[in-house]
């Protein structure tokens, strides 16, 4: 069996898929109609920007794209917290997704920090 814990592209896809799956079972109401599209978009964007980072044309381009991945993951966390609040019965699922998002954010923060030259700020 292959361990996908270190396959960041796969983890980002699984994150977005888990939010899509959650979105399908959440009730249709005015609050969720605003929160769900934001969560789906932010999580999907984090994966898309990681794919772009993997094809970066320079170290500067790579760092820029990883920075966007981090921003989108932070945004995903924000929307998942609000979805948990708006959907008490699904709060545990939202928190599980939030936790995975947090772990990925820590990984990408380390990648960004490690990609800087020692003489850079």
Residue 46 in domain: yes
Give percent above pLDDT 70 in the chain. Answer: 92
Q: What percentage of residues in the chain have a pLDDT greater than 90?
A: 89
Residue range of the domain that includes 58:
8-114
pLDDT digits (tens, 9 = 90+) for 20-67: 999 999 999 999 999 999 999 999 999 999 999 999 999 999 999 999
Number of domains in the chain: 1
- 3-state secondary structure at position 86: helix
Q: 36: Cβ–Cβ under 8 A, 6 or more apart, which residues? A: 23, 26, 83
* Residue in this structure with the two tokens 């796969």, named with its chain if needed: 10
Residue 51 forms part of a structural domain:
yes
Say what the pLDDT of residue 118 is. 53
CATH number for the domain that contains residue 65: 1.20.1440.60
Residue length, the chain? Answer: 121
Q: Inform me whether the pLDDT recorded for 2 exceeds 90.
A: no
* 112: CB partners within 8 A, 6+ apart: 63, 66, 67, 70
Residue 86 pLDDT > 80, yes or no? yes
Report helix angle 32-54 to 8-25, nearest 10.
170
Buried/exposed code over 26-54 (b: 16+ C-beta within 10 A; e: otherwise): beeeeebeebbeebbbbbbbbbbbbebbe
């Amino acid at each position: 069996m292959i361990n996908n814990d270190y396959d960041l592209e796969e983890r980002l896809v699984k994150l977005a898929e888990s939010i899509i799956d959650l979105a399908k079972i959440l009730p249709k109401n005015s609050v969720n109609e605003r929160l769900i599209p934001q969560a789906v978009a932010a999580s999907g964007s984090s994966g898309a920007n990681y794919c772009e980072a993997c094809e970066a044309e320079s170290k500067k381009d790579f760092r820029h794209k990883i920075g966007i991945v981090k921003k989108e993951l932070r945004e995903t966390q924000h929307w998942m917290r609000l979805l948990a609040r708006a959907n008490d019965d699904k709060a545990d699922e939202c928190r599980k997704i939030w936790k995975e998002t947090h772990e990925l954010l820590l990984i990408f923060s380390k990648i960004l920090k490690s990609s800087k030259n020692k003489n850079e700020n």
